[in-house]
Amino acid sequence: MSIEPFDVVDLIRVKRDRGALTTPQIDWLVDAYTRGYVADEQMSAMAMAIFLNGMGRDEIRDLTLAMIASGERMSFDALSKPTVDKHSTGGVGDKITLPLAPLVASFGVAVPQLSGRGLGHTGGTLDKLESIPGWRAGLSNDELLAQLDDVGAVICAAGAGLAPADKKLYALRDITGTVECIPLIASSIMSKKIAEGTAALVLDVKFGSGAFMQDPARSRELAETMVRLGTDAGVATVALLTNMNVPLGLAIGNANEVRESVEVLAGGGPADVVELTVALAREMLALAGQPDADVERHLADGKAMDTWRAMIAAQDGDPDAPLPAPREQHVVTADRDGVVTRMEALPFGIAAWRLGAGRARKEDPVLHAAGIDLAVKPGDEVRAGDPLFTLSADDDARFARALESLEGAYTIGAAGDDVETGGPLIADRITG
């Protein structure tokens, strides 16, 4: 029996007492936890110590590299195209990956978008796409490379071999109240993205009511930390700080967000979804060597739509098939004339989750037709009786709890009242 070089209890005490772990200590800790030598309760104590006391820049870098080293690293060197990926920290109505990946790929760039599923009020990209009949999330590495070479865009589940230490640690953080921790979030996201092998990465880091990190200063710190990690690892990395105080677009759910994404690819769609899609596409294409690409033209002339259809079909989906429709709907109307002055994102995300669009546990299924369709956004005028939003579910018994979460979530004021949006959609750009 081999002798372990460190005692995990000693390492926990170091972080408990606000000390710094060395590179060999972090390497051993991640390896020992991955192979089961360090127990879950011990790693839980370490995660809480990190949550409470933080980590230095070197520690975060070492943690990220150790998680990468726990599994395989992909390579796209065999592709003739440059690669660039995007990651969003998630929000309410955030379906940007769906139109963005084919839009960027329509310029001859490979977009390997390894995505996840939703948990809580933030939706998962894979859950949305599984609304499309036949579409499959699981691809082998050979299938992924072949589709990148042919179509240019892939949105699929990450393989089990990428950063398995992160997968194990994330599941633990989720049940121990240690999710909202910048060192752990940054190392979790960036270990997977760096292991994925992309040459460049654009991060959409959200702040506001419906965001993972609600405080703008904390979101900025997270963005700066991730940009440093990417840059230090040789991945060209840029981050946009974006506003998630108001739901993004008009659709919140799964099938309805696919529908809205297709509208954007057809040259339409809500202005905020188009604005963010175009901004992120420009950043991705600039990193891929095309800073002057005419992004809007590929939305208008059908090139992005052609790539979307090819991407969906390559993963056995039918881009022409009808999307799931809800069995029950409930329309909420304005009780007075006025102007919508506030529409807080988080309660709408929780309401969609209660309707069945999200899951409380990772094992739960989602209801693809469940969700919310907004008829108005802050700044819109309404008259008494006008529809404000429509709730969709497969069981009308779900409406009561969804409506509970929306009490006080929106305001109809008088003309001239201040409209609360939390500022512009794109607040800042952060580079290495």
Catalytic residue, chosen from 87, 220, 330, 342, is 87
Q: Which of 161, 211, 209, 160 is nearest to 185 (CA)?
A: 211
Residue 173 annotated to the active site = yes
Catalytic residue, chosen from 166, 204, 272, 373, is 166
Q: DSSP letter for 143, please.
A: H
Distance, C-alpha 183 to centroid of its chain: 18
Residue 7 annotated to the active site = no
Residue 87 annotated to the active site = yes
Q: Which of 75, 98, 52 is nearest to 311 (CA)?
A: 98
**E-strand stretches of 199-247:** 200-207, 236-243
Structure tokens that stand for 211 in this block = 């965001």
Residue 330 annotated to the active site = no
Distance, C-alpha 18 to centroid of its chain: 31
Q: Which of 41, 55, 122, 113 is nearest to 83 (CA)?
A: 113
Round to whole Å and give the CA distance between 350 and 356. 10
Catalytic residue, chosen from 192, 282, 298, 342, is 192
Round to whole Å and give the CA distance between 377 and 249. 9
Catalytic residue, chosen from 173, 206, 359, 368, is 173
Round to whole Å and give the CA distance between 90 and 66. 25
Cα distances from 385 to residues 81, 197, 333, 373, in angstroms, run 53, 53, 5, 17
Residue 167 annotated to the active site = no
Q: Are strands 153-157 and 111-115 parallel, antiparallel or unpaired?
A: parallel
Distance, C-alpha 37 to centroid of its chain: 32
Judge whether 261 and 223 are in contact, CB under 8 Å.
no
Active site residues: 87, 166, 173, 188, 192
